[in-house]
């Protein structure tokens, strides 16, 4: 029984890694679609989000099934409950990639943001991609150093997010209302993407060390 349970937990873990890896590809494609105004790539991200949603639902079913059959307690129970939460956060990260891709598709053939912000959005995208890759690796290895790095990356995303507002609200901003709306939304999506990554990193850190980093924000 115990051995079966361990195998099932491993299955859960592998599936979380799989979804996190897909999310990393999605945010990379979404960022490229957004920055290069690539509508076919945007459409792929939107299609891939359905796949991420489906994998998350299947994983939830597996986790609930494990709860019902194995009736885990203590740490084992917390692992399964955490898997449910992590799956939900990964699903939202996929949504954020989808939303960024939708902005790109909606404005096509125009580029979404004006020149003065492009470098910032390239940087935000790169950071989000790195965070998602580290997250997949963290889920695979439970190397808490990665959780720490993800939190540091998030501080940089927050700074970039603020800098978008400073630019948009600054005197040199030449963008029209459309540019302002797009920059506001895209920046918010990147920032939320990173928040979800941190939230997952905290849960894995907690499970790996038994040390509760901080309550949900």
Check binding of 116 to its own copies (CB under 8 A).
Answer: no
91 makes contact with its own copies (CB under 8 A): yes
Q: How far is CA 51 from CA 8, 11, 16, 70, 76, in A?
A: 22, 18, 14, 28, 28
Comparing CA positions, the residue from 137, 136, 142, 127 lying closest to residue 195 is 127
- Give the nearest distance from C-beta 158 to its own copies in angstroms: 15
Stretch that binds its own copies, among 22-30, 33-41, 81-89, 121-129 (CB under 8 A): 81-89
- Choose the stretch contacting its own copies; rule: CB under 8 A; options: 17-25, 113-121, 149-157, 173-181: 173-181
Q: Of 84, 122, 207, 208, which one interacts with its own copies (CB under 8 A)?
A: 84
Is residue 111 part of the contact set for its own copies (CB under 8 A)?
no
How many chain residues are in contact with its own copies, going by CB under 8 A? 30
Q: Looking at beta carbons only, is 40 or 211 nearer to its own copies?
A: 211
Smallest distance, Å, CB 173 to its own copies? 6
110 binds its own copies (CB under 8 A): no
Q: Report, in Å, the least distance between residue 172 CB and its own copies.
A: 11
Cβ nearer to its own copies, comparing 28 with 182:
182
Is 33 in contact with 101 (CB distance < 8 Å)? yes
- Candidates 17-25, 27-35, 138-146, 163-171 — which segment interacts with its own copies by CB under 8 A? 163-171
Comparing CA positions, the residue from 214, 211, 206 lying closest to residue 83 is: 206
Which of 37, 44, 163, 175 touches its own copies (CB under 8 A)? 175
Q: Is 168 in the site for its own copies (CB under 8 A)?
A: yes
Residues forming contacts to its own copies in the complex (CB under 8 A) are 53, 56-57, 64, 67-68, 71, 73-74, 77-78, 81, 84-85, 88, 91, 165, 168-169, 173, 175, 177-178, 180-181, 184-185, 188, 215-216
């Amino acid at each position: 029984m115990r051995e079966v349970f361990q195998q099932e937990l491993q299955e859960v873990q592998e599936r979380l890694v799989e979804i996190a890896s897909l999310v990393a590809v999605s945010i990379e494609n979404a960022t490229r679609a957004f920055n290069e105004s690539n509508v076919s790539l945007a459409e792929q991200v939107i299609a891939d989000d359905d796949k991420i949603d489906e994998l998350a639902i299947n994983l939830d079913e597996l986790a609930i099934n494990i709860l019902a059959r194995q009736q885990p307690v203590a740490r084992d129970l917390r692992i399964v409950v955490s898997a449910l939460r992590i799956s939900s956060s990964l699903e939202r990260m996929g949504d954020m990639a989808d939303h960024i891709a939708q902005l790109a598709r909606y404005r096509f053939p125009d580029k979404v943001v004006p020149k003065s912000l492009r470098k910032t959005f390239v940087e935000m995208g790169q950071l989000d991609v790195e965070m998602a890759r580290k997250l997949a690796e963290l889920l695979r290895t439970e190397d808490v150093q990665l959780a720490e790095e993800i939190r540091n990356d998030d501080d940089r995303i927050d700074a970039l997010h603020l800098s978008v507002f400073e630019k948009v609200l600054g005197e040199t901003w030449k963008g029209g209302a459309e540019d302002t709306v797009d920059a506001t939304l895209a920046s918010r999506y990147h920032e939320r993407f990173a928040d979800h990554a941190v939230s997952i990193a905290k849960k894995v850190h907690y499970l790996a060390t038994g040390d509760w980093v901080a309550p949900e924000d």
